[in-house]
Structure 1
């Protein structure tokens, strides 16, 4: 537990050292984020194979790759993208620890860039990433963690591409398809594109709400189809939907995001003339929907996948979509009035640290405790 508490303390100390009053806002943000993610990377890369429930299995299969022909992709159920990466590294003679460092970088670098480019509060974004389930899950679910980070790259392509809208969609689908080659749960990111055609956040919220309610009635049939299509034997088609505290929390956040975004949309309609709005619409997706708007759409859509799959660790498609919370929540808070914003930031810091302690460290759900360095084995 000491390593994770030390990580949190390190993040706070880096935040204090690189205070904006001493370094300037931009340099403070850049240095804080860089050194914080160096610490996080060290936690990922220097760990023993006992840290993370699935890691011993990943290591065992990696070491066994050399016993199979390079062209053999049928000896394990892993997706072919992950198998190809593993085979290349193994046949190059890279040790398991170096391979783990490579995949850790593949997981963390897109998250680092995503926060750096889009977050209005990089400290809170980093804290949410560490404290709210993504950090612990990424320590164990290597394939899905890589897929999730590739989906963040797809989001950045969607928002940053200079091409025409149609080609941007093709680029997005291509990158998401790469993510699916690492973990099938990334298919959820395909569904963001249809959501982009709904003009208002209010419309998105209404559509997802109706789709989620309708889904409950035919949930088992949909799961049976998905189980057959993706050959996901671990998927329980007859499991009941558990409405736990985490789902209630996520629905609350979705409602908060919708309210804030509707307010922003109303302000935008008031501030822009018809001519300006027409010009904006001609420029394409980058200006049709700002970054926060796309993040909120993704987060709302994740609620549907929670209703469909539940929160089973074997699927977790919703995490592909709601990982944007690391940016969308700090950005939503930044839109509040000054006093409300300060209270919301303080509350969020205490809430997520408490969540990390009570939901990650105490139950040790993914066997990330005790933390051991690889040289201690």
Structure 2
């Protein structure tokens, strides 16, 4: 699971540092580049609901194998010379990550029910490490291998390794039996305000994360940093996420609900954005650290909420599909919005205001989703919130 998690971010974070080169070689407009950064996030949302459906038919283990195979293929396709291949490969990558990322919380809940929240922190740490490697190594790989296409294609080797290890070591359990009746169906889930609150928090905090993956290097270059500096700063920020990704679930356990932990990490995100885009240049590394701590903790807690807000692995899978499917669809508007703002040459000041407003929105939903509540099936077989 950790090795799979390591693959779910390089495909996204490795693209951002190369956007300037891609734009120069392909002639794509800023709006088209914005669409390119939005496409994988949108696919995360559109394809995430397929994960529970596929899991019921071929099992979660085989579904995850198929997602890794699609991921590796997408990475190779988008490295081809044609612009159409760049978009097609990016679509394949987004679909694969959407399915694989949705399956992981349910698998963790099934395999390690008593320590699911802490295990969520462990594989989230792997996600962050993968994101950091993708951001930090993209430019060096492009220079070493001779092109941005080869740099993008090289990450397919990591996907192939994860697929091989997953096939060898994956659990051999059968798919759990379905609960009686229609309780816990997606329709039932949509009738529960708690499910919507978790989804909207996932969407708003993920919007910030994918703005970073898609546009932070570009924004830092706009601030005056070189291409290489911007890539390494983004990589450093994502690397810092390792600390809070692992520690945030532990922090969440200290109280009866997760609202204090959620508000702390969102405060760190807001401070980091302001320091990087508006603060003194001398404080840029403080901004990198704060942003990394906030985003690592925010994403880890968002996934932890899926586990903590459900009473069994089936509900966790359903909520994961809803929260990540709907959440990532919402999150896709973030990178697209920043792309539109840059297309119209809006200054960094307005971009910063937009980022802070998204953070405030995430804080509002955090106050609702972070309460000590849980979705369960009652004695009558009905889905309830307790």
TM-score, length-scaled by structure 1:
0.34
TM-score for both structures, normalised by structure 2: 0.34
